[in-house]
């Protein structure tokens, strides 16, 4: 098998494949389906300072274009994650790189969660979910204003020694400006893209399918958007990028990597095929051979 090892921000991954945040919770359920040690890394569910119960059901719906979800950041809070979830991973998968996903309603909450994750030994990278509403700024998402992104990045970097990856959402005027703001703030890498806001209406009830009304669209429909945005940002930065958006096949993953991603996350595809990441790891070497790529690091030569 071809070498699939990659290094992102000083963290070695045996391969570039991992589940997207929120699709594997904290690993226990996924461990019943696949061997977690086969993954390049495990990205845990976005975690907030305090427990969140999330939105009432229904929180997900499958559409003709992909999945809509509005879970509402449901999670047990950082204390339980510290005491129960991460120790379980450390005991059972001590060599598995774990990416901790940080979320919050305020800058101070982000900082506190980042501080506490900094003290968790088996977390290798912090991924900052900046698609959360900023309650101090009228509910506008943290990730849409460059000045807010830069400040939040800088303040999180001040409280952690772990690499910080800012997760960018696509609902912005210029993804390049947001990425540049994160880089000015001192981030070590980027994850992109998050979901796109959408809605589906039930023709029988005349109301939205989701209890929240709107939800984040993921799946095949957003793949070309992810390719475009990763490509644009890669032209402006040398930071490592974790690409995410509509990966179902080895070709999809290769396309995001050719656009500029160093590694990739898989989300919606797991709903229909829990083993999809293992299958991608198995088939990716032959796909590289088919397209005359000798090593995964050869892909970088096509970035500029």
* Residue among 254, 258, 239 nearest 304 (CA): 258
Question: Using an 8 Å Cβ cutoff, are 50 and 77 in contact?
Answer: yes
- Asked whether residue 75 is marked as a ligand-binding residue, the answer is no
DSSP bridge partners of 75: 52
- Asked whether residue 215 is marked as a ligand-binding residue, the answer is no
- Asked whether residue 83 is marked as a ligand-binding residue, the answer is no
Residue 15 and residue 184: Cα distance in Å, rounded? Answer: 29
Identify each DSSP E strand in the chain by its residue range: 6-8, 11-13, 17-19, 42-43, 60-62, 67-69, 98-102, 123-129, 133-134, 140-141, 164-168, 189-192, 196-198, 201-202, 207-208, 215-218, 241-244, 263-266
- Asked whether residue 45 is marked as a ligand-binding residue, the answer is yes
* Residue among 25, 15, 51, 6 nearest 267 (CA): 25
- Asked whether residue 69 is marked as a ligand-binding residue, the answer is yes
Q: Which of 42, 132, 257, 277 is catalytic?
A: 132
- Asked whether residue 70 is marked as a ligand-binding residue, the answer is yes
Beta-carbon contacts of residue 178 (< 8 Å; ≥ 6 apart): 143, 144, 146, 149, 168, 172
- Asked whether residue 15 is marked as a ligand-binding residue, the answer is no
- The dihedral through the CA atoms of 248, 260, 157, 89 has a sign that is positive
Q: Is 187 a catalytic residue?
A: no
DSSP 82: I
- Asked whether residue 71 is marked as a ligand-binding residue, the answer is yes
User: Phi/psi zone of residue 197: left (φ > 0), alpha (ψ -120 to 50 degrees), beta?
Assistant: beta
- Asked whether residue 104 is marked as a ligand-binding residue, the answer is no
- Rounded to the nearest 5 degrees, what angle is found at the Cα of 76, between the Cα atoms of 72 and 78? 110
- Asked whether residue 267 is marked as a ligand-binding residue, the answer is yes
* Residue among 247, 267, 270 nearest 259 (CA): 247
- Asked whether residue 300 is marked as a ligand-binding residue, the answer is no
Residue 111 and residue 60: Cα distance in Å, rounded? Answer: 29
- Asked whether residue 161 is marked as a ligand-binding residue, the answer is no
- Asked whether residue 243 is marked as a ligand-binding residue, the answer is no
- Asked whether residue 73 is marked as a ligand-binding residue, the answer is yes
- The dihedral through the CA atoms of 14, 192, 24, 122 has a sign that is positive
Instruction: Report the Cα 272 to chain-centroid distance in Å.
Output: 19
Write out the catalytic residue numbers.
Answer: 132
Residue ranges at the known binding site: 21, 45-46, 69-73, 129, 167, 193-195, 219, 245-246, 267-268
Residue ranges at the known binding site for FMN: 21, 45-46, 129, 167, 193, 219, 245-246, 267-268
Residue ranges at the known binding site for substrate: 45, 69-73, 129, 194-195
């Amino acid at each position: 098998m071809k070498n699939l090892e990659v290094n992102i921000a000083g963290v070695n991954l045996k391969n570039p494949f991992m589940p997207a945040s929120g699709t594997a919770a904290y690993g226990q359920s996924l461990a019943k389906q696949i061997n977690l040690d086969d993954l390049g890394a495990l990205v845990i569910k976005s975690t907030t300072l305090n427990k969140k119960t999330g939105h009432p059901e229904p929180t997900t719906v499958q559409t003709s274009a992909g999945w809509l979800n509005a879970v509402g950041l449901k999670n047990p809070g950082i204390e339980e994650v510290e005491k129960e979830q991460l120790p379980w991973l450390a005991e059972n998968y001590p060599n598995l790189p774990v990416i901790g996903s940080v979320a919050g309603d305020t800058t101070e909450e982000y900082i506190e969660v980042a501080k506490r994750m900094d003290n968790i030994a088996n977390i290798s990278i912090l991924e900052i979910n900046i698609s959360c509403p900023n309650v101090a700024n009228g509910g506008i998402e943290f990730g849409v204003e460059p000045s807010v992104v830069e400040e939040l990045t800088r303040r999180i970097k001040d409280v952690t020694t772990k690499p910080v990856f800012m997760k960018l959402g696509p609902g912005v005027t210029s993804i390049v400006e947001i990425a540049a703001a994160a880089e000015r703030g001192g981030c070590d890498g980027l994850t992109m893209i998050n979901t796109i806001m959408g809605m589906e209406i039930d023709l029988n009830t005349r109301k939205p399918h989701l209890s929240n009304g709107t939800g984040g669209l993921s799946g095949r429909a957003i793949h070309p958007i992810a390719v475009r945005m990763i490509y644009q940002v890669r032209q402006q930065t040398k930071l490592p990028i974790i690409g995410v958006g509509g990966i179902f096949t080895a070709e999809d993953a290769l396309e995001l990597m050719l656009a500029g991603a160093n590694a990739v996350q898989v989300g919606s595809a797991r709903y229909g095929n829990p083993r999809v990441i293992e299958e991608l790891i198995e088939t990716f070497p032959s796909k590289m051979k088919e397209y005359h790529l000798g090593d995964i690091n050869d892909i970088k030569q096509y970035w500029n």
